[in-house]
Amino acid sequence: MMKYTIRNRHTIGIIALVIALCASCSFNSPSIAFPKVQRLYKHTVEEDFVENLAVFAVFQDADGVNDYKELLLQENATGLEWRLHRGNTIFLQESGFSQHEQCVGSNTFAYPRGAFPAGAYTLTLSDLGGNTTSHVFTLQKPPRVTARPFQFTVNRETWQIHVKNSSFCCYF
């Protein structure tokens, strides 16, 4: 009789554990809204101009913003990948926005051979439950940057921007 009681307790415990695990799992798939991709150029003394890619998107998930796991950027032609895990992702959220969406991404993606080549790229967001959503975008041929498109000076309390090449600078 004692063996039967212990077995029932184990069975009840296992059933309770399975129910708890199922209840804690994420069943809702995330979605991507407002993807934004932009080339950024930085002038350095050592390397002249360095290109970074800024990639941001609004991560939407009915399970909440804390369900975000990672962002994956992939160059489709070569399969080259960049991964942003939760720990190295930039999170932006304005007050008053839904608790189910936030902007995620980074402005530090760097291509190993200089500028990002033209072509198709895939942005994939995933949540802690293993659910994913993807967005394909195309980068145009990178511009040839050989000089700063503007000159910025500060003299006491006066800031001045003199645009040298307006094709790189739209507005300030």
User: What is the distance between the alpha carbons of residues 149 and 168, in angstroms, rounded to a whole number?
Assistant: 6
Name the residue among 112, 40, 111, 123 with its Cα closest to residue 76.
123
The tens digit of pLDDT for each residue in 107-121 reads: 999 999 889 999 999
Q: What is the mean pLDDT of the chain?
A: 82
Which residues does 171 contact at the CB level (< 8 Å), separation at least 6?
A: none
The tens digit of pLDDT for each residue in 111-153 reads: 998 899 999 999 999 999 999 999 999 999 987 776 666 777 8
C-alpha gyration radius of the chain: 24
Q: What pLDDT score was predicted for residue 110?
A: 95
User: What is the distance between the alpha carbons of residues 33 and 57, in angstroms, rounded to a whole number?
Assistant: 6
Q: Which residues, in sequence order, are bridge partners of residue 75?
A: 121
User: What is the distance between the alpha carbons of residues 51 and 73, in angstroms, rounded to a whole number?
Assistant: 16
Which residues does 62 contact at the CB level (< 8 Å), separation at least 6?
A: 28, 100
Say if pTM beats, i.e. exceeds, 0.85. Answer: no
Q: What pLDDT score was predicted for residue 46?
A: 73
